[in-house]
Amino acid sequence: MTVNEKISALRKLMQANDLYAYYIGTSDPHNSEYIADHFRTRAYMSGFEGSAGTLVVTMKEALLWADGRYHIQAAKDLEGSEIILMKQGAPGVPKVLDWLINNMPQSSKLAIAGELHSDSEIGRMALQLSRKDISLITKLDLIDEIWEDRPALPQGKVRLHPLKYAGQSTADKLSEIRSLMSRDQADAAFFVGLDDIMWLMNIRGEDVPGNPVTLSFALIEKEKATLFINLDNLEDGLAAALAEEGVTLAPYETVYSALSDLKAERIVLDRTRVSRSLVDSLPKQSKIITKSDYPHLLKAKLNEQQQEAQLEAGIRDSVYVTSYLYFVKHKAVELGHNEYSVTAELERLRRQDPLYVGESFASISAYGANAAMMHYQASAEDYAQLEARGLYLIDCGAQMWDGTTDITRTIALGELTQAEKEAYTLTLRSHIALASLPFLKGTSGVALDAVARSVVWRENFDYKCGTGHGVGFVGGVHEGPQRLTGSVEHGGQIFEPGMVITIEPGVYLEGELGVRLENDYIVVPAEMELNTQADIFYSFKPFTFVPFDRDAILVDKMSTAELMWLNDYHTQVRETLLPRIDDELVKEYVLEATEALSN
C-alpha cells in the first residue's frame, strides 16, 4: 500500500472504533532510541525513516512532527503523500499535544499504544486532554491490523560479555542495586532499558541494528533476580553462567503475568521509561517509587577496566577511520566512487579487527549540500557522485567487544570556496572551545553546551541539535544521562569523572554545505595547579585520535591558543596512530595531516 492508502485504511478502523485521532510515536516497550523493525509503526505508516518523529492521523488530516535534525529529510520522505510536515521548533509550529487540544472536538477519543509509550508520557497527555474531556484509549492496536507483512520480533543471538572488559561481575552489580533498593526501602526494582539490562547482566545481543542489545526486562527482588528474555537464542553455557551470578531466566512474554503476581509492597521503577501497559499490570496495592533507573547512572561512569578497554577500542577505530579518510581524499574520486559506494572501504578496514561487531549506527556519508542534512542517508539508488572539489562528511561509529565509538570528520576533496573554509574553521574553533576547557566540579551539560555554541553564535549561526551525547560501553552509541544540550530538561546532569561524551558542533547551510567535527572524550580530573586548592576542576581527555583537515582551515581565523590545542592534539594523533599503521602511504598522510600550524 502507498502511504495514503495506509492512512485511508487506518481511518476506516478509527471510524469503526469511534476514534477521532490516532497517535503514532517512535517507540518500543523499552523506551529505546533505536528500535527493532517490528516496532517501527510510524516509519511504516508515514514513509519517514528518521529515528524520531510523531504521526497524528485524524478523520480529516495527517500530520508528522519532526525535529530540526530531520526537517529536510522529512520533507523529502513525505513527498507525494497527504501528510503535512510540522517542523518541530520552528516559529508558529505548535507542539503535538497543543495541536491535539486545539483541534480535537470536545469529548472525542484519541488512541495511543499503551505498550509502546511510557506511563508518564501517557499520564501527561491524559491530564492535558481532560481539559476538553477527551478520552485517551491505550489498549487498541489498529496498526497491526493494517501491517500485513509486519516483521516478527527479532531473534538475535545473546552472548556473555567477558569480565575482562566489563570489569565487574553481575553478582556484584546486583548487590549494588539491592543496596540502593534498601536505601529507598523498596522490595523490588524493575528495569526496561535494554542498555541498562545488558550492563547489569553482562550480556550483549543482536536484536537492534547498531546496538548490541536483546529484548529483555529485569525484575530485581531482595532474594531473586529475574531476566525476561527469549530463551531460544542464548549461546551455549550462558544460562548456567547467569545462574551462577544469581539470575533466574524467564520467557520474554511472561513479564506481564510476573508483574501481576508480584508480592512486593514497594517497587522502584522509572515511569518515564516503563510503559503504561506494564505499570497497569502491577497489583493495585503495590506502591511505585518513581526514580531514575539505578543502572542508568551507575554505568555512566566507566570503571578503570572499562576505561582502558574503551581507549584501546577508540585508538583502533581511529586507525581505520584515518585510513578511510586517506582513501577518500586521495583515491575515491579517481576510482569513480559516490557517497554510498565509498563506505564499503570503511567497512572493509574495520572487518580486519577481530573484536569488531558492526557499526554503532548507519554511517552518514554526505557530499556537498547533502551534508546540510544532519541525518542524511545515501542509498544505492539515491546518492551524489564524489568530485575533486568541495567538502565530504563521514559520521560513523563502531561496536567492538571492548568499546563503542562515534567519530565525524569533514574533509576537502579538492579546491574549497571561502564559505566552505569559513564553515570548517568556525566548526573547528567551536570544537576546540569546549575540548580545551577546564571546568568546575558540579558543572552541567547545559553550561558546557553553551561554551561550544557561543563560538558559532558570535557569527550569527546555530546548529539545531545538541553539542554532544554520552556513549555507552559496548552499548548504545547515544546513552545518558550525560548530554551536551541547551535544554534544561535534558542537559541538567552534572559531569563527573569516568563519563564519556562526544563533542560535535557543526555549521549547516541548507542547499549548500554541512560541516561537523566529532571526537569521543572522557571526563578526567584536570591537570592544573588550581586542583590543589579548594576548587576541583575537570577536563576532557580524547578517546579518539583522527586528524582534522589542514586543507580546510583558515589559519588567520584561529587564535594562538586554538592553534596550540590543535597542534598538541595532532601530536597525540601522530604518537598514537603511527606505531599501529603498516601502510606507508597512510603513514605519510598522517605525517602531513598533523604538521604544526601557526599564524
State pLDDT tens for residues 83-103: 999 999 889 999 999 999 999
Give the pLDDT confidence score for residue 489 in this predicted structure.
80
Given a cut of 90, whether residue 487 has pLDDT beyond it is: no
Longest dimension (CA), the chain: 73
The DSSP secondary-structure symbol of 301 reads B
User: Hey, which residues does 468 pair with through a beta bridge?
Assistant: 484
Given a cut of 70, whether residue 330 has pLDDT beyond it is: yes
Give the pLDDT confidence score for residue 432 in this predicted structure.
98
Interatomic CA distance for residues 317 and 542, integer angstroms: 13
First-to-last alpha carbon distance for the chain, in angstroms, is 60
Give the pLDDT confidence score for residue 446 in this predicted structure.
96
Determine the 3-state secondary structure of 465 from DSSP.
coil
The closest of 466, 368, 363 to 408, measured between CA atoms, is 363
Identify whether the C-beta of residue 473 lies closer than 8 Å to the C-beta of residue 310.
Answer: yes
- Per-residue pLDDT, averaged over 588-592, amounts to 98
Interatomic CA distance for residues 101 and 458, integer angstroms: 39
Give the pLDDT confidence score for residue 599 in this predicted structure.
83
Given a cut of 70, whether residue 530 has pLDDT beyond it is: no
Interatomic CA distance for residues 323 and 581, integer angstroms: 9
Give burial (CB, 10 Å; 0-12/13-18/19+) of 62.
buried
Give Rg (Cα) of the chain: 25
Identify whether the C-beta of residue 433 lies closer than 8 Å to the C-beta of residue 450.
Answer: no
Please list the helix, strand and coil fractions of the chain in percent, rounded to the nearest 5, in that order: 40, 20, 40
Please calculate the CA angle 362-117-119 and round it to the nearest 5 degrees.
Answer: 140
Give the pLDDT confidence score for residue 289 in this predicted structure.
96
State pLDDT tens for residues 360-389: 999 999 999 999 988 889 999 999 999 999
Q: How far is CA 115 from CA 17, 250, 280, in A?
A: 19, 19, 10
Give the pLDDT confidence score for residue 464 in this predicted structure.
84
- Angle between the 560-577 and 304-327 helix axes, to the nearest 10 degrees? 100
Give the pLDDT confidence score for residue 532 in this predicted structure.
61
In 382-505, DSSP assigns E strands to 391-396, 398-400, 403-404, 407-412, 439-440, 468-469, 483-484, 500-503
Domains of the chain: 3-146 (3.40.350.10), 159-298 (3.40.350.10), 304-588 (3.90.230.10)
Interatomic CA distance for residues 285 and 261, integer angstroms: 11
Give the pLDDT confidence score for residue 72 in this predicted structure.
82
Give the pLDDT confidence score for residue 534 in this predicted structure.
67
Identify whether the C-beta of residue 385 lies closer than 8 Å to the C-beta of residue 518.
Answer: no
Interatomic CA distance for residues 230 and 158, integer angstroms: 9
Give the pLDDT confidence score for residue 89 in this predicted structure.
86
Please calculate the CA angle 97-102-105 and round it to the nearest 5 degrees.
Answer: 110
Look over the chain and give the mean of its residue pLDDT values, rounded to a whole number: 95
Cβ neighbours for 35, distance < 8 A, ≥ 6 positions apart: 26, 27, 28, 208
At which residue does the C-alpha cell 492496536 appear? 141
362-381 per-residue burial string, b: 16 or more CB within 10 A, e: under 16: bbbbbbbbbbbbbbbbbeee
State pLDDT tens for residues 278-297: 999 999 999 999 999 999 99
Identify whether the C-beta of residue 174 lies closer than 8 Å to the C-beta of residue 246.
Answer: yes
Given a cut of 90, whether residue 528 has pLDDT beyond it is: no
Q: What DSSP string describes 238-259? A: HHHHHHHTTEEEEEGGGHHHHH
CB atoms within 10 A of CB 115: 17
pLDDT over 90, % of the chain:
91
Given a cut of 60, whether residue 34 has pLDDT beyond it is: yes
Give the model's confidence band at 50: pLDDT under 50 very low, under 70 low, under 90 confident, else very high.
confident
Give the pLDDT confidence score for residue 69 in this predicted structure.
78
